[in-house]
Structure 1
Amino acid sequence: MLRSLAVLLSAALALSGLAACQQQKFSKNSATHTRDGILGITETNPNMPLSASFRTYPDDVRVMQNAIGQRFPNVSITSISLNGPTAYVRLNAPAHTPPEEIERIRQGASEVLAFAAPRYNANVTVTAK
């Protein structure tokens, strides 16, 4: 009885050893998250304020309009259009504005936009009308 139990146990061990040495025919594909420090949550919910694109385009335009309006109250905004990373901004200064003042307004508007909407490269055009 003891001898048959030993043979049975050694046969079970031999079979389990053979099964462990067989080549696996399946592959396991696992996706990993990016290393953003918060376990990939910026990929799962892109509208969270953790990502760089949590504001919508109308929100960005509104922020730009408010920033320019506060800094230059006498300048009217003709248009703001967004194309990828570039914001094209057209401004109208009051009539008979000297060219030096127009250049100062253009540089100041570029600085204001760089602070208010840093993900855009501002291309500012100022005309006197």
Structure 2
Amino acid sequence: MLRSLAVLLSAALALSGIAACQQQKFTKNSATHTRDGALGITETNPNMPLSASFRTYPDDLRVMQNAISQRFPNVSITSISLNGPTAYVRLNAPAHTSPEEIERIRQGAAEALAFAAPRYNANVTVTAK
């Protein structure tokens, strides 16, 4: 009985050794990073300045101007300046605009800017001229 168990164990080890030595037929499906000089970091962080999807400051200003112009066509944009995470926006409303309407324009412009450029905190000033 002990002899047959030893023969069976030897056969099992021999079969596993043969199976382990066979050449495996599989393909490696790993993807490498692109050769962008940053070891693929532009693919993992799309808003870094290295990637093509990153908006520059002039692009941000254009997006902000378009957002305000589309929502308030009768309001003129005096200036937009960016300082870190804050966008300072000055708008001119028509001369006879009521204070309630000026406040509505200010809040609406802040909402439009928050939607168009969410990475900036908009500080909007509206004057009637």
State the TM bucket, normalised to the shorter chain: 0.5 to 0.7
Give me the TM-score of the superposition, normalised by structure 1: 0.63
Secondary structure of 2:63's aligned partner:
helix
More displaced, 16-25 or 29-38? 16-25
Any idea what the Cα deviations from partners look like across 1:90-120, whole Å, max 9, x if unmatched? Answer: 0000001000000000000000000000000
Q: Distance in 2 between matches of 1:83 and 1:109?
A: 18
The 1:12/1:29 distance shift into structure 2, 3 A limit, reads same
> 1:66: Cα distance to partner?
0.3
Q: 1:64 deviation in Å?
A: 0.2
Q: RMSD across aligned C-alpha pairs, in angstroms?
A: 9.5
Q: How does 1:25-44 map to 2 (within 5 A)?
A: 41-42=41-42
* Runs of 4+ displaced beyond 4 Å: 1-40, 43-53
Segments of 5+ residues of structure 2 without an aligned counterpart are none
Deviation at 1:4, TM superposition (A): 40
Output the CA distance in 1 between the equivalents of 2:100 and 2:26: 72
Deviations 1:74-93 (A, max 9, x none): 00000000000000000000
Q: Which moved more, 1:26-35 or 1:6-15?
A: 6-15
**Gaps spanning 5+ residues in structure 1: where?**
none
Aligned-residue identity in percent = 94
TM-score normalised per structure 2: 0.63
Deviation at 1:52, TM superposition (A): 11
Number of residue pairs matched by the alignment: 129
